[in-house]
Amino acid sequence: MPPRPPPAWPDAVGDVVRGPVRVSVPATSANLGPGFDSLGLALDLRDELEGEVLAQGLEVEVHGAGAEQVPRDERHLVVRAMRVAFEVLGVEPPGLRLTCHNVVPHARGLGSSSAAIVGGLALARALVTDGAERLDDQALVALATRMEGHPDNVAPAVLGGFVISGTDDDGRAYAVPSAVAPDLETVVLVPADPVSTEMARGLLPATVPHAEAAADAGRAALLVAALAGRPDQLLRGTRDYLHQHYRRPAMPASLDLVEALRSDGVPALVSGAGPTVLAFVGVGAAVPAEAVLARCPQGWTAHHLAVDRRGVLVV
């Protein structure tokens, strides 16, 4: 078989890497019970993207989760993210080919949009010869936050592991990695039907009682310690007062399952904006992973996932 010819794009585009580049980006779970808009965890469930510079045009191919719903033009979220990164890096490729192999389920609270944004930014960065030097991971978090609106999903997608994030008074995003016990694992139970983030956010009240806010702050602080190596505190540390119960009308089955699991001693919560249910398992857990997997309702999908500690990668 003759060797594949290089893509036909002008030599004048000297800042762009020749040949295809692939990146892998993890799913994420945000909020984590009391950590509303501030705590996020990367999970070992990965989308893979491949990009290549062409002489002209735009070619988008999508396989897997969301393949039937997402656009194949400039509206595609990965393409939009790539354009943002290229603009920051001062590069304008004459054409692009993008191939997406999606595993992260869409509109289920596992950070599919964040994976698309972070993956697109990282792919564009990798397609520029000195992109990694000019756009480091903290800059990637800031760009991704600008697109997503909140850093709690995009930060762990970039950095991996468990990340505490937010925005300063001047609007700048911050992301601080925090320790995760090496034996911590998760089970995610994914409903068949999606719930949009916009719908879930629309159910939240404009204000909450001071006592609930104070209780939530205490549990979020405890959860940081629990994830770092106090599994005996995970059930207490995942108790939420701030957002999950308000969202029950959009995902009653999810909240029923969370309550049933918690009543049996399982640290369970709604992942992100829902409707996926996440439970912490591993060494020291009151209930083993196999027992939680067996609680998966009919028609749902179950995954036993490690914590991803790598973040977005060039592969």
Q: Which tens digit of pLDDT belongs to each residue from 53-94?
A: 999 999 999 999 999 999 999 999 999 999 999 999 999 999
Which pLDDT does position 284 carry in this prediction? Answer: 72
Q: Check whether 10 has a pLDDT greater than 70.
A: no
Mean pLDDT for all residues in the chain: 92
Which pLDDT does position 287 carry in this prediction? Answer: 86
Q: Catalogue all structural domains in the chain, each as residue range(s) with its CATH number.
A: 21-179+310-314 (3.30.230.10), 184-306 (3.30.70.890)
Q: Check whether 6 has a pLDDT greater than 50.
A: no
pLDDT digits 0-9 by tens, 118-132: 999 999 999 999 999
List the one residue out of 251, 277, 276 whose CA is nearest residue 266. Answer: 277
Which pLDDT does position 180 carry in this prediction? Answer: 96
Which pLDDT does position 11 carry in this prediction? Answer: 38
Q: Check whether 285 has a pLDDT greater than 90.
A: no
Q: Check whether 13 has a pLDDT greater than 90.
A: no
Q: How many percent of the chain have pLDDT more than 70? A: 96
204 Cβ partners below 8 Å, 6+ apart?
A: 243, 246, 247
Interior angle at CA 165, CA 164 and CA 168, nearest 5 = 140
Average pLDDT, stretch 199-215?
89
Enter the pTM of the model. 0.93
Is 229 a known ligand-binding residue?
A: no
pLDDT digits 0-9 by tens, 18-53: 889 999 999 999 999 999 999 999 999 999 999 999
Is 105 a known ligand-binding residue?
A: yes
Is residue 195 within 8 A of residue 275, CB to CB? The reply is yes
Average pLDDT, stretch 156-161?
98
List the one residue out of 20, 21, 19, 16 whose CA is nearest residue 6. Answer: 19
Is residue 51 within 8 A of residue 21, CB to CB? The reply is yes
Is 108 a known ligand-binding residue?
A: yes
Rounded Cα–Cα distance for residues 271 and 276 (Å): 5
pLDDT band at 199 (very low <50, low <70, confident <90, very high): confident
Q: Work out whether the CA dihedral 102, 291, 265, 184 comes out positive or negative.
A: negative
Is 109 a known ligand-binding residue?
A: yes
Is 114 a known ligand-binding residue?
A: yes
Rounded Cα–Cα distance for residues 23 and 119 (Å): 7
Is 57 a known ligand-binding residue?
A: no
Is 219 a known ligand-binding residue?
A: no
Which pLDDT does position 14 carry in this prediction? Answer: 53
Q: At 190, which amino acid appears?
A: V
Which pLDDT does position 201 carry in this prediction? Answer: 84
Is 106 a known ligand-binding residue?
A: yes
Is 115 a known ligand-binding residue?
A: yes
